[in-house]
Amino acid sequence: MSSAPTTPPAPQGARPRRLGTGDRIFLTVIIGIPLAALLFFVWLPALASLGLSFTTWDGVDLADIHWIGLDNYKEIFTNYPPFWPAVRHNVIWLLFTALLPTPFGIFLAYQLDRKIRFTRIYQTAVFLPMVLSLAVVGFIWEIIYNPDTGLLNGILSATGSSHHIDWLGNSDLNLWAVLVASSWRHTGYIMILYLAGLKGFDPALKEAAALDGANGRQTFLRVVFPALKPVNVIILVITVMESLRSFDVVYVLGGGVGSKPGMELLSLLITDNIIGESSHIGYGSALAVVLLVVSLAAIGTFLVQNFRKEDQ
Partner 1 sequence: MTTTVPRPASRPRTRRAQQTAKTPSGPRRQTGRHLMLGGIALLWLVPLLWAMYTSLRPYSDTAKHGYLSWPHSIGLGNFSDAWSQSGMPHFFWNSVLITVPSVLCTLLFSAAVAFFVSRFDFRWNIVLLMLFTAGNLLPAQVLITPLYRLYLLIPLPEWMSDSLLLYNSAWGIIAIHIAYQSGFCTFVLSNYMKTIPKEISEAALVDGAPVWRQFFQIILPLCRPAFAALATLESIWIYNDFFWPLALIESGDKRPVTSALANLQGAYFTNPNLIAAGSLMTAIPTLLVYFALQRQFISGLTIGSGKG
Site for partner 1 (CB under 8 A): which residue of 238, 250, 262, 263?
Answer: 238
Long-range contacts of 267-270 (CB under 8 A, 24+ apart): 267/291, 268/86, 269/82, 269/83, 269/86
CA–CA separation, 187 and 107 (whole Å): 10
Cβ of residue 194: shortest distance to partner 1, in angstroms?
Answer: 10
Based on the shown chain and the rule CB under 8 A, indicate whether residue 115 belongs to the binding site for partner 1. Answer: yes
Based on the shown chain and the rule CB under 8 A, indicate whether residue 178 belongs to the binding site for partner 1. Answer: no
User: 11 or 160, CB closer to partner 1?
Assistant: 11
User: 98 or 100, CB closer to partner 1?
Assistant: 100
Q: What is the DSSP string of 192-209?
A: HHHHHHHHTS-HHHHHHH
Site for partner 1 (CB under 8 A): which residue of 10, 67, 79, 278?
Answer: 10
Footprint of partner 1 on residues 182-201 (CB under 8 A)?
184, 187-189, 192-193, 196-197, 200
Based on the shown chain and the rule CB under 8 A, indicate whether residue 281 belongs to the binding site for partner 1. Answer: yes
- Residue 260 burial (CB count, 10 A): 18
Site for partner 1 (CB under 8 A): which residue of 102, 252, 259, 264?
Answer: 252
Q: Site for partner 1 (CB under 8 A): how many residues? A: 130
Based on the shown chain and the rule CB under 8 A, indicate whether residue 125 belongs to the binding site for partner 1. Answer: yes
Longest CA–CA span in the chain (Å) reads 82
Based on the shown chain and the rule CB under 8 A, indicate whether residue 244 belongs to the binding site for partner 1. Answer: yes
Q: What is the DSSP string of 69-127?
A: TTHHHHHHHHH-TTHHHHHHHHHHHHHHHHHTHHHHHHHHHHHHSSS-TTHHHHHHHHH
Based on the shown chain and the rule CB under 8 A, indicate whether residue 118 belongs to the binding site for partner 1. Answer: yes
CA–CA separation, 138 and 134 (whole Å): 6
Site for partner 1 (CB under 8 A): which residue of 108, 168, 177, 179?
Answer: 108
Per CB under 8 A, the segment of 48-56, 70-78, 81-89, 168-176 that binds partner 1 is 48-56
In this structure, are residues 107 and 235 in contact, taking their beta carbons and an 8 Å threshold? no
Site for partner 1 (CB under 8 A): which residue of 106, 178, 179, 270?
Answer: 270
Based on the shown chain and the rule CB under 8 A, indicate whether residue 31 belongs to the binding site for partner 1. Answer: yes
Footprint of partner 1 on residues 126-165 (CB under 8 A)?
126, 128-129, 131-136, 139-144, 146, 149-151, 154-155, 158
User: 65 or 92, CB closer to partner 1?
Assistant: 65
Which string of x and - marks every residue 60-99 that binds partner 1 (by CB under 8 A)? ----------------------------------------
Q: Would you give the DSSP letter of residue 279?
A: -
Based on the shown chain and the rule CB under 8 A, indicate whether residue 305 belongs to the binding site for partner 1. Answer: yes
Q: For Cα atoms 251, 257, 262, give the angle at the middle one, nearest 5 degrees.
A: 65
β-strands 55-56, 66-67 pairing: antiparallel
User: 14 or 172, CB closer to partner 1?
Assistant: 14
Based on the shown chain and the rule CB under 8 A, indicate whether residue 15 belongs to the binding site for partner 1. Answer: yes
In this structure, are residues 168 and 177 in contact, taking their beta carbons and an 8 Å threshold? yes
Based on the shown chain and the rule CB under 8 A, indicate whether residue 206 belongs to the binding site for partner 1. Answer: yes
Site for partner 1 (CB under 8 A): which residue of 72, 102, 182, 219?
Answer: 219
Best CA proximity match to 232, nearest among 81, 88, 67, 109: 109
Cβ of residue 159: shortest distance to partner 1, in angstroms?
Answer: 11
Best CA proximity match to 206, nearest among 197, 215, 196, 195: 215
